[in-house]
Structure 1
Amino acid sequence: MDVNRVKQIISSPADIKVSYQGTSVWIDKLEADGKTATVHLRGPLEERSQVSIDELVEE
């Protein structure tokens, strides 16, 4: 996913489905480096991880 699409998804009020390595995630924020984002799993677990935006896929 490119950096502009990550920004659009973060600012959108819509529920846009995104996955990371086959798992559905929420994007919390784009990191300052512009190459990674903080995400957490959809559902009751809210463990956050930093991942490469290249590995995020819009469903």
Structure 2
Amino acid sequence: MDPKRAQEIASSTSMVNVMYNGQDVYIEHVDQGNGLATIHPIDNPNQKQSVSVQSLDEA
């Protein structure tokens, strides 16, 4: 996924299915300059991590 699309999803009021390593995740924040996204699994909001937006897939 490109950083611009990740930012669109993060800013959206509707839920968009995003996958990271086969797991449904929620995008909390996108750092477009560095190409990183702060995500967490849908079922575990306390398990935050920063990953490359390139590793995210829109389902």
Alignment RMSD: 1.2
| 2:51 match | 51
Gap change, CA 1:2 and 1:16, over 3 Å in 2: same
- Normalising to structure 1: TM-score of the pair? 0.89
Quick one: percent identity of the two aligned structures? Answer: 31
Question: In the TM superposition, what are the counterparts of 1:27-38 in structure 2 within 5 Å?
Answer: 27-31=27-31, 33-38=33-38
Residue by residue, what CA displacement relative to the aligned partner does 1:18-43 show, whole Å, maximum 9, x if unpaired? 00010000000012643111000001
TM-score normalized by the length of structure 2: 0.89
- In the alignment, the residues of structure 1 paired with residue 58 and residue 51 of structure 2 have an alpha-carbon distance, to the nearest angstrom, of 15
- Give the structure 2 partner of residue 39 of structure 1: 39
Which runs of 5 or more residues in structure 1 are unaligned?
Answer: none
Q: Which amino acid aligns with 1:23?
A: Q
- Quick one: which amino acid aligns to residue 52 of structure 1? S
Deviations 1:38-57 (A, max 9, x none): 000001x2210011100000
Give the secondary-structure state (helix, strand or coil) at the position aligned to 2:5: helix
Structure 2 gap segments, 5+ residues each: none
Q: Match for residue 19 of structure 1? A: 19
